[in-house]
Amino acid sequence: MVAVLLLGLLAAAAVGGTRFVAGQPTVQSTVAQARWWFNNTTPPQVRLTVPAAPVRGSIAVTITTQADGPHALTAVHLDGRPLPVASALSIDTATLPDGEHSVVAEAQDGSLHRNVGRATATFRSDNTPPTVTVSFEPSPVAQGHTLLLNVRLNEPAAIAGVLDGKPLAFGHDSSNTGYWAVWAPDMDAAPGPRGLTIAAGDALGNRIQITATLTVTTYNFPSENIVLPPDRAELLAPAITEAEIKRLDGVFAVVTPESLWSGVFTMPVQANTSSAFGTRRSYNSGPLGSGHSGWDLDAAAGTPVLAPARGRVVLAEALQVRGNAVIVDHGLGVYSAYYHLSEIRVRVGQIVAAGEVLGKVGNTGLSTGPHLHWEMRVGGVAVEPVEWVQRRIPGQL
């Protein structure tokens, strides 16, 4: 029995690195170690520490072991392949396929039973940029009409885009894998190709940039002559019109970074059209000027004007050319405007819901009779308003 105990102690020393120097350990501790060597059936505890979140590039793996007696780390495997046996390892995930990986570590004690402890830990690697799919609605897009740009990703990511040199403001779904933006060419824009650049980056820093091209086509707008009463013709003076346009351009240039509306827009009044969007106008038989920036709806004076969608009122005041005016910011560079009102029923900063009264139809400003001028702007560009009633923007993400 003594020989067996001594052999066990020597084996324990070989595994755990215990040294027996003259006078050490004591007889009592030697007996305890011998008893442990003979009776122990508890394997060493092994703990693995790997990153909990998805990772890219090199990661650190830490292995700790614990037992009541001599023991040693004996094997480490990654996805079934052996790794160096060490308590601290660095793994380059760029050499691995994206996805889940398993690290297994084993430790053995120096007892008679050679008990083996094992631990497994998993981590997920991602060294691949997102995939980006882009679609246009409609394609091509006509002058003065709204383009809906849809972007699909295969994983959550942040994106940025530039179309025809202008940055895009994107809305997104709850998963951050579906994005959309609206853009419009001016009614006088030159037909032809426009360049798009989309950059996407996931949370780990994997980035991609893609380019695409869309086409702008011509649109045949009608023309008309407007006869102005003498007391209002003076409102066509460039000093008046240009100052007001500059003021409103500043309002439309502000881009609220989120969408305030959802669903299809509704008509602000139910009435016949007296002048369509884009109509080239001359006044008092003069030369044709720029296109009509909205729709003139031939509603009776005092008819309530209703908000077509949710938004924030950013202008509610009397203007010289456009008369009593209300402008609503719907977010992401989308605005609606209502001119020539007889009354204003909202205030700046107010959040209005679809169907809420903004004011009443009137005949103020540069107007030949009671009507509502209804306007839609996308990125500062006047667009065909009625298609916002006919289309769901955005569509289903």
Residues 227 and 161 in one domain: no
Q: Give the pLDDT confidence of 248-276 residue by residue, as tens digits.
A: 999 999 999 999 999 899 999 999 998 89
- Across residues 334-351, what is the average pLDDT? 98
Q: What is the pLDDT of residue 20?
A: 36
Residues 169 and 228 in one domain: no
Tell me the DSSP string of 33-88.
HHHHHHH--PPPEEEEE--SS-B-SEEEEEEEEE-SS-EEEEEEEETTEEE---SE
Residue 243, pLDDT > 90, answer yes
By CB atoms closer than 10 A (0-12, 13-18, 19+), residue 74 is middle
- The answer to whether residue 227 sits within a structural domain is yes
Q: How would you classify the pairing of strands 223-226 and 280-283?
A: parallel
Residue 14, pLDDT > 80, answer no
- The answer to whether residue 158 sits within a structural domain is yes
Residues 271 and 356 in one domain: yes
- The answer to whether residue 46 sits within a structural domain is yes
Residues 39 and 147 in one domain: no
Q: Which residues pair with residue 270 across a beta bridge?
A: none
CATH number of the domain that 58 lies in? 2.60.40.10
Q: What is the pLDDT of residue 396?
A: 53
| CB 342 within 8 Å of CB 324 | yes
Residue 19, pLDDT > 50, answer no
- Across residues 39-49, what is the average pLDDT? 96
Please give the C-alpha separations between residue 174 and each of 54, 156, 253, 307, 397, in angstroms, as whole numbers.
20, 10, 27, 26, 10
Which of 67, 98, 125 is the last residue before a domain boundary?
125
Q: What is the pLDDT of residue 84?
A: 96
Residues 34 and 106 in one domain: yes
Residue 13, pLDDT > 70, answer no
Residue 218, pLDDT > 70, answer yes
C-beta atoms surrounding 146 within 10 Å = 24
pTM: 0.81
Residues 372 and 327 in one domain: yes
Residues 316 and 245 in one domain: yes
pLDDT-derived band at 395 (thresholds 50, 70, 90) equals: low
Residue appearing with tokens 């077509």: 308
Of the chain, the percentage scoring pLDDT greater than 90 comes to: 80
Two structure tokens written together for 207: 């980035």
Residue 8, pLDDT > 60, answer no
Which of 187, 217, 247 is the last residue before a domain boundary?
217
Residue 233, pLDDT > 70, answer no
Segments forming the whole domain that contains residue 205: 132-217
- The answer to whether residue 86 sits within a structural domain is yes
Residue 16, pLDDT > 80, answer no
Q: Give the pLDDT confidence of 352-361 residue by residue, as tens digits.
A: 999 999 999 9
Q: What is the pLDDT of residue 3?
A: 46
Residues 313 and 385 in one domain: yes
Q: Give the pLDDT confidence of 110-163 residue by residue, as tens digits.
A: 999 999 999 999 999 999 999 999 999 999 999 999 999 999 999 999 999 999
- The answer to whether residue 357 sits within a structural domain is yes
Residues 121 and 237 in one domain: no
Residue 303, pLDDT > 80, answer yes
Residues 257 and 371 in one domain: yes
- The answer to whether residue 355 sits within a structural domain is yes
Q: Give the pLDDT confidence of 191-212 residue by residue, as tens digits.
A: 999 999 999 999 999 999 999 9
Q: Where are the alpha helices (DSSP H) in the chain?
A: 2-16, 27-39, 230-233, 238-252, 386-390
Which of 217, 243, 269 is the last residue before a domain boundary?
217
Q: How many structural domains does the chain have?
A: 3
Residues 234 and 361 in one domain: yes
C-beta atoms surrounding 218 within 10 Å = 11
Q: What is the largest CA-CA distance in the chain?
A: 126
Residue 280, pLDDT > 60, answer yes
Residues 14 and 137 in one domain: no
Q: What is the pLDDT of residue 241?
A: 86
Two structure tokens written together for 374: 């209804």
Q: Give the pLDDT confidence of 105-117 residue by residue, as tens digits.
A: 999 999 999 999 9
- The answer to whether residue 160 sits within a structural domain is yes
Q: What is the pLDDT of residue 142?
A: 98
CATH number of the domain that 255 lies in? 2.70.70.10
- The answer to whether residue 397 sits within a structural domain is no
Phi, psi for residue 218 in degrees, rounded to 5 = -75, 155
